[in-house]
Amino acid sequence: MIVFLIGFMGSGKSFYAKGLSEFLHVPLVDLDQFIEEEQAMSITEIFEKMGEPSFRALESVAIKQVYADLLTRTTETTHINDILGIISCGGGTPCFNDNMEWMNKHGLTIWINAPEEIILERLMKEKETRPLVASLTEEELRGFIHQKLLERKPYYEKAQSVIANHQITIHEFINTIQHAKNFF
Ligand code: S3P
Chain segment 111-129, per-residue pLDDT in tens: 999 999 999 999 999 999 9
Mean pLDDT of 30-39: 98
Say if CB 120 and CB 138 are below 8 A apart. Answer: yes
The percentage of the chain sitting over the pLDDT mark of 90, rounded to a whole number, equals 85
pLDDT of residue 182: 72
Residue bearing the bigger pLDDT, 177 or 73: 177
Q: How far apart are CA 127 and CA 145, in angstroms?
A: 12
pLDDT of residue 138: 96
pLDDT of residue 166: 86
Distance 155 CA to ligand 1 centre (A): 15
pLDDT tens-digit profile of 127-156? 999 999 999 999 999 999 999 999 999 999
Which of 130, 133, 136 to mutate for ligand 1's pocket (most ligand atoms within 8 Å of CB)?
130
Q: Is pLDDT above 60 for 6?
A: yes
Q: How far apart are CA 145 and CA 117, in angstroms?
A: 9
> What is the reported pTM?
0.94
For 37, half-sphere exposure in the C-beta direction (CA atoms, 13 angstrom radius) is 8
Q: How far apart are CA 21 and CA 77, in angstroms?
A: 11
Distance 48 CA to ligand 1 centre (A): 14
Residue bearing the bigger pLDDT, 180 or 127: 127
Mean pLDDT (the chain, rounded): 93
pLDDT of residue 126: 92
The percentage of the chain sitting over the pLDDT mark of 70, rounded to a whole number, equals 95
Residues with CB under 6 A from ligand 1: 9, 13, 32, 43, 90-92, 130-132
Q: How far apart are CA 29 and CA 137, in angstroms?
A: 31
The three-state (H, E, C) secondary structure of the chain, written as one string: CEEEEECCCCCCHHHHHHHHHHHHCCCEEEHHHHHHHHHCCCHHHHHHHHCHHHHHHHHHHHHHHHHHHHHHCCCCCCCCCCCCEEEECCCCHHHCCCHHHHHHHHEEEEEECCCHHHHHHHHHHCCCCCCCCCCCCHHHHHHHHHHHHHHHHHHHCCCCEEECCCCCCHHHHHHHHHHHHCCC
**For atom 9 of ligand 1, which residue has the closest CA?**
90
For residue 178, name the pLDDT band (cuts at 50, 70, 90): confident
